[in-house]
Amino acid sequence: MTKALITGAGSGIGAAIARAFDKRGYALVLVDRDAAALDALAATLGAAPEKIICDLASRDNVELLCERLRSDLADLDILVNNAGIIVPGAVADLDQAALDLHLEINLRTPIRLMRAAAPQMIARRNGAMVSTVSLGGIISLKDSAIYSASKFGLRGFICGFHQELAPLGVKVSGVYPAAVDTPMLLHEATHGGSVLNFVDKVMTPEDIAEATLKAIDTGLLEVYSPWSASLTSRFFGSFPWMIRPLLPVMEKLGEQGRRKFLAAKGLSAQ
């Protein structure tokens, strides 16, 4: 039976991926720091998962998880690095702890987990590692510079690691969502996050779960959701000097989208 581990599985995209994997009959190992959220998710699945409570911001906790990937989870077929964090705000307004947290959870921890899982997959010449990156790993915008820095780094690692492991039978992929209707996006919408999240269509967690399955099945280096948003992001990623002159127009469109997003949830825009 295919065994898959998912970080950040307690809610949002991670929970949607868990449900999609459960439908495929995968044996699940769900990782989150919120035990109650994992219990609630497990109650909705067809088969009982293994649950691991782990704070991915703790290097000691992550090392214990890495040790398990090298021992009793050495038979893991799929690793999904989904957990992530964003604290919106200007760099000058964020404290050092917030900066470090982005780099720890979004960049350092996924690299450590992939590095721990790789030798066993290489030995079997089989396996897949997929990371939920973000279009923020393609284009960087104000008030999310540190988030983008962590995601740019993750994208760079994935690109190089993909080249190393593809000849050895191991798939390494990144999934690049636009804005996704999750608690994280709602927090951004109500706490000063970038309104540019709402310029395009807001995706569902199930959309990203589908993209994750595509990455696992195909081994593509990059899978985008939606494809249309990826074209815009990659264009401006190639010509970043064009962003600032267009910001006023883009922010106006984004604010309209933010208000519609909040209205659909019965909330008023402040």
Number of helices (H), then strands (E), belonging to the chain: the values are 10, 7
Say which of 26, 147, 176, 224 is annotated catalytic: 147
φ/ψ of residue 232, rounded to 5: -65, -45
- Locus of tokens 């690095």: 81
Torsion of CA 26, 32, 34, 36, to 10 degrees: 10
**Degrees, nearest 5: CA angle 163-165-168:** 125
φ/ψ of residue 2, rounded to 5: -70, 125
In the residue annotation, 176 being an active-site residue is answered as no
> Greatest CA span in the chain, whole angstroms?
55
- 126 near 78, Cβ under 8 Å? no
Q: Which of 190, 218, 172 is nearest to 79 (CA)?
A: 172
Tokens describing residue 56: 């991915």
- 139 near 240, Cβ under 8 Å? yes
- Locus of tokens 């290489």: 122
- 16 near 206, Cβ under 8 Å? yes
Tokens describing residue 233: 């992001």
Give CA–CA dist 13/83, Å, rounded: 9
Q: Which of 32, 12, 20 is nearest to 78 (CA)?
A: 20
Write out the catalytic residue numbers. Answer: 147
